[in-house]
C-alpha cells in the first residue's frame, strides 16, 4: 500500500513525514485555499519537507488542454522532484494527459466517480486515477466497490495505472479499499492516526509498563 497525505498543512506534513511510511503529499484547489497563503512558497515548503524523492501531486487550475500542459510544466519546474499534476477527468484533461505523457510529466487523473472514467484515464496514460470514496458513499454509492471494479479492470487490461483512492472519512473505508487491492490511498493526518489506533493496544502497553515497573521500578534495559 502506498500512503499519501492529503493536506497542505505544513505542521501535519512535517509530523506525518517523520512518523509514518509516507510516499508523498496530494493537494487540490480546496486544500490549497484552506491554507489561504501564497501558492509558491507553500508548495515549495511542502517539497522541502518531503524531499525530492517523495511524490508531490498538485492540481491544475486550468480548463483547456494547452493551458493545463503549460501549467503542469511550470509547476514541475518550480517544485521539481517526483511531481504529478492532478487533472480532473474530461475531454480537455484527457488531451492534456496524452501530451504530458510524451513530455514525461506524471499525471494523476482526479474527480473520478466511475470505472469507465478511470479506464479512459488509464488508456490516455494517467499514472494514477483518484476515485472519491467518501463522496460516493455520501450519495449511497459504494466507494470501495467502485475502487474494486477499477482495480480489477486495470488488471484485466494490464494497465500500469495505479488507483489512488481519495476522499476518506474513516478507517473502515481505507481498510475496505486495501482489501480489494487498491494500490494507494491519500488520507488526512487524522485518518492516518485512526489506522494505527486501538484501545486494546493502549491497554496492552499500559499492562507491560505496570508489570515492569512493579518489579524493576524506573530501571530500563540499559540500566542492567
Q: Please select the residue that binds ligand G3P; options are 3, 4, 6, 150, rule is CB under 6 A.
A: 6
Under the criterion CB under 6 A, does residue 132 sit at the interface with ligand G3P?
Answer: yes
Q: Whose grid coordinates read 511510511?
A: 21
80-109: which residues touch ligand G3P (CB under 6 A)? Answer: none
Cα distance between residue 74 and residue 208, in whole Å: 54
Q: How far is CA 220 from the centre of its chain?
A: 39
For the bound state, the minimum distance from the C-beta of residue 61 to ligand G3P, rounded and expressed in Å, comes to: 14
For the bound state, the minimum distance from the C-beta of residue 218 to ligand G3P, rounded and expressed in Å, comes to: 45
Task: Give yes or no: 102 in active site.
Answer: no
Number of residues that bind ligand G3P (CB under 6 A): 9
Q: Which helix (H) or strand (E) holds 64?
A: none
Dihedrals φ, ψ of 180, to 5°? -105, 15
* Interaction mask 141-170, ligand G3P, x per CB under 6 A: -------------------------xx---
Cβ atoms 130, 165 nearer than 8 A: yes
Phi-psi category of residue 95: left, alpha or beta, with phi > 0 → left and psi -120 to 50 → alpha: alpha
Under the criterion CB under 6 A, does residue 28 sit at the interface with ligand G3P?
Answer: yes
Under the criterion CB under 6 A, does residue 3 sit at the interface with ligand G3P?
Answer: no
H-only helix segments in 88-140: 91-102, 115-124, 133-138
Cα distance between residue 100 and residue 129, in whole Å: 15
For the bound state, the minimum distance from the C-beta of residue 88 to ligand G3P, rounded and expressed in Å, comes to: 10
Nearest residue (CB) to ligand G3P, 134 versus 212: 134
Under the criterion CB under 6 A, does residue 127 sit at the interface with ligand G3P?
Answer: no
181-220: which residues touch ligand G3P (CB under 6 A)? Answer: 186
Q: Which three cell numbers stand for residue 128?
A: 494514477
Nearest residue (CB) to ligand G3P, 14 versus 135: 135
Cβ atoms 25, 57 nearer than 8 A: yes
Chain residues that interact with ligand G3P, rule: CB under 6 A:
6, 26, 28, 132, 134-135, 166-167, 186
Which residue numbers are catalytic? 86
Amino acid at each position: 500500500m502506498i500512503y499519501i497525505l492529503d493536506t497542505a498543512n505544513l505542521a501535519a506534513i512535517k509530523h506525518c513525514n517523520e512518523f509514518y511510511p509516507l510516499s508523498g503529499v496530494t493537494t487540490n484547489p480546496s486544500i490549497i485555499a484552506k491554507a489561504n497563503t501564497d501558492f509558491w512558497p507553500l508548495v515549495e515548503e511542502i517539497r522541502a519537507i518531503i524531499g525530492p524523492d517523495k511524490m508531490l501531486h498538485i492540481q491544475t487550475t486550468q480548463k483547456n488542454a494547452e493551458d493545463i500542459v503549460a501549467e503542469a510544466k511550470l509547476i514541475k519546474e518550480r517544485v521539481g522532484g517526483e511531481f504529478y499534476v492532478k487533472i480532473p477527468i474530461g475531454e480537455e484533461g484527457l488531451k492534456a494527459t496524452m501530451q504530458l505523457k510524451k513530455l514525461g510529466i506524471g499525471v494523476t487523473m482526479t474527480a473520478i466517480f466511475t470505472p469507465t472514467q478511470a479506464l479512459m484515464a488509464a488508456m490516455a496514460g494517467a499514472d494514477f486515477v483518484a476515485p472519491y470514496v467518501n463522496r460516493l458513499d455520501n450519495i449511497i454509492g459504494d466507494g470501495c466497490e467502485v475502487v474494486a471494479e477499477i482495480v480489477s479492470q486495470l488488471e484485466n487490461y494490464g494497465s500500469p495505472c495505479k488507483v489512488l483512492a481519495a476522499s476518506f472519512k474513516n478507517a473502515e473505508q481505507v481498510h475496505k479499499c486495501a482489501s480489494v487491492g487498491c494500490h494507494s490511498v491519500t488520507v488526512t493526518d487524522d485518518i492516518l492516526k485512526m489506522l494505527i489506533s486501538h484501545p486494546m493496544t493502549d491497554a496492552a502497553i499500559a499492562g507491560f509498563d505496570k508489570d515492569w515497573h512493579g518489579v524493576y521500578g524506573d530501571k530500563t534495559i540499559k540500566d542492567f
